[in-house]
Amino acid sequence: KNEVEQSPQNLTAQEGEFITINCSYSVGISALHWLQQHPGGGIVSLFMLSSGKKKHGRLIATINIQEKHSSLHITASHPRDSAVYICAVRAQGGSEKLVFGKGTKLTVNP
């Protein structure tokens, strides 16, 4: 079992829909990252969370440490949100290692 599981693997939505992408992890963590990867490959950091909730524009990220679960929400989705969204966690204990989920491919149709 992977240490970081994302769901769904693929998601297709219509423009304007509310999107939720989930990330579950099995280890104690010091931080969780949400990343975005567009076609063409570049990876951009969206959020880094250790507790609670963060919001940036139409993007909201939440984390529940007790349940080892995080969600990324996109409100009023737009075709330009089409990308792969990647969850990554840094384990507790001073490890340098980030463990990545396999990503969720989001397609938003006009």
Partner 1 sequence: NAGVTQTPKFQVLKTGQSMTLQCAQDMNHNSMYWYRQDPGMGLRLIYYSASEGTTDKGEVPNGYNVSRLNKREFSLRLESAAPSQTSVYFCASSTQLMNTEAFFGQGTRLTVV
User: Could you say which of 27, 60, 65, 98 contacts partner 1 (CB under 8 A)?
Assistant: 98
d(Cα 29, Cα 49) in Å, to the nearest integer?
10
d(Cα 110, Cα 73) in Å, to the nearest integer?
19
Kindly state the tokens that stand for 73.
């929400």
Q: Which is nearer to partner 1, 45 or 64 (CB)?
A: 45
User: Could you say which of 18, 26, 43, 75 contacts partner 1 (CB under 8 A)?
Assistant: 43
Q: What DSSP line would sit under 2-29, residue for residue?
A: -SEEEE-SEEEEETT--EEEEEEESS-E
What is the length of the chain?
A: 110
User: Could you say which of 7, 79, 102, 109 contacts partner 1 (CB under 8 A)?
Assistant: 102
Residue 27, interface with partner 1 (CB under 8 A)?
no
Rounded to the nearest whole angstrom, what is the least distance from the CB of residue 43 to partner 1 in the complex? Answer: 4
Interface with partner 1 (CB under 8 A) = 2, 4, 30-31, 33, 35, 41-45, 48, 50, 86, 88, 90, 94, 96-103
